[in-house]
Amino acid sequence: MSEIISKPVVPNLKSEILIMVKNEFLKLNNLKIGDSIIWNFRYDTLRSQYKGGMASYGANEESEGVLKENKDGFLYVESVKEYSFYTHKWNQRSGRQSRHTWERTMKKAQHFFGTGFTHVMPTE
């Protein structure tokens, strides 16, 4: 007789945990969706490198943001001010024909709460 081995069903707790984080954060800080807070937002800066070329580096700035909720019910804070974000573009050529450019986008910075959680099955 051969035994049928099946793959276990793993519950998706990520969305439940993120909604729980939202509720606890709002309750703990006595806040509601739409309130303004001071937050440390991440954005990009462009700096020159040794021997020419440019590189994008992350930077942070504390500024005012507004608490919001996305369509899935997850909490995030969006900056009032617009920040710079850079995308590296390359023409896929080599040698003298190679061109590297940086495309700058100005947009509001966002920070989602509780997105560092990962789901790990217990090893019992």
Residue 54 has a pLDDT of 82
Look at residue 116 in the predicted model and tell me its pLDDT.
58
Q: What is the pLDDT of residues 93-123, one digit of tens each?
A: 888 888 878 889 999 999 888 765 544 444 4
Tokens standing for residue 85: 């974000």
Average pLDDT estimate for 7-12: 77
Segment 4-12 shows an average pLDDT of 78
What 3-state DSSP class applies to 97? helix
Q: Would the pTM of this model clear 0.75, i.e. be above it? A: no
Helix (H) or strand (E) holding 79: strand 75-90
Q: How far is CA 63 from CA 38, 46, 49, 50, 114, in A?
A: 5, 20, 28, 32, 20
Query: What is the C-alpha separation between 83 and 53, in angstroms, rounded?
Result: 22
**Strand, helix or coil for residue 49:** coil
Is the pLDDT at 2 greater than 70? The verdict is no
- For 12-50, the pLDDT digits (tens) are 778 888 888 889 889 999 999 999 999 999 998 888 888
Query: Is 88's pLDDT higher than 70?
Result: yes
